[in-house]
């Protein structure tokens, strides 16, 4: 009845199960036994694929970029790239609450210990870098308000994503998520672009 799988595949399975458990049930439920049950193996087997549990979290963290990042076009209309990024984020994280949990909880950083905080920060900074370059391109092409504070704008955009996701989780959105996604993006867009462009 035992299904044997090559290590690579098992590692991925386990890492993904870890994301699910942490996201849906919290770190307290993230134990070798639960993790194994989620994957369909027994607890001892986890340690055949990972040295210890924090290596599992580490692997889970490594899986995140693939789950978070759409194949974002590096070139093209900067505003469209921005929109694609924001909407993709809203949608993908809303669907996979585990990701949100891993990315926005410093409990994970603590659980990792050592360079944990730095790695989670790096993950978030990567998004900031992408946004910053989008915004800079847009500014250079004169698409944004002339007086826009670029760094503050980065905070606004990343924040809007978080604000939306938490509102969704708290049941604080007054309309269907799919509608609110667009309304938030519109409002954000208006805040960034040249007034005349909009009108």
Partner DNA sequence: CATGAATGAGTTTTCATTCAT
Partner DNA sequence: CATGAATGAAAACTCATTCAT
Contact partner, 178, from its own copies, DNA, none, Cβ < 5-8 Å per class? none
Give the residue with the Cβ less far from DNA, 115 or 129. 115
Is 17 a binding residue for DNA by CB under 7 A? The answer is no
By CB under 7 A, residue 45 contacts DNA: yes
Q: Does 153 contact its own copies by CB under 8 A?
A: yes
Do residues 35 and 46 touch, judged by C-beta distance below 8 A?
yes
| Residue 105 within binding range of DNA, rule CB under 7 A | no
- Separation of alpha carbons 17 and 24, rounded Å: 10
Q: Least Å distance between CB 18 and its own copies? A: 14
Q: Is 174 in the site for its own copies (CB under 8 A)?
A: yes
Does residue 187 touch its own copies according to CB under 8 A? yes
On the CB side of 50, CA atoms within 13 Å amount to 23
Contacts of 188 (CB under 8 A, 6+ apart): 86, 156, 157, 160
CA distances from residue 9 to 4, 14, 31, 110 in whole angstroms, order as listed: 10, 9, 20, 27
- Look at residue 124 and give the partner it binds from DNA, its own copies, none, a contact being a CB closer than 5 to 8 Å depending on partner kind: its own copies
By CB under 7 A, residue 52 contacts DNA: yes
């Amino acid at each position: 009845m035992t299904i044997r799988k090559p290590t690579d595949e098992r590692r991925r399975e386990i890492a993904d199960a870890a994301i699910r458990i942490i996201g849906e049930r919290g770190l307290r439920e993230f134990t070798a036994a639960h993790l194994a049950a989620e994957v369909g193996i027994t607890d001892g087997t986890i340690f055949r694929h990972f040295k210890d549990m924090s290596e599992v979290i580490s692997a889970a963290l490594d899986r995140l970029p693939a789950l978070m990042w759409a194949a974002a076009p590096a070139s093209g209309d900067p505003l469209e790239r921005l929109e694609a990024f924001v909407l993709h984020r809203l949608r993908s994280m809303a669907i996979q609450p585990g990701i949100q949990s891993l990315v926005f909880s410093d409990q994970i950083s603590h659980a990792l210990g050592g360079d944990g905080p730095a790695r989670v920060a790096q993950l978030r900074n990567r998004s900031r870098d992408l946004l910053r370059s989008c915004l800079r391109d847009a500014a250079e092409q004169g698409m944004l308000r002339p007086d826009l504070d670029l760094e503050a704008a980065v905070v606004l955009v990343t924040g809007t994503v978080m604000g939306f996701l938490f509102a969704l989780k708290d049941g604080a959105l007054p309309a269907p998520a799919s509608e609110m996604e667009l309304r938030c993006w519109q409002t954000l867009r208006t805040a960034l672009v040249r007034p005349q462009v909009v009108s």
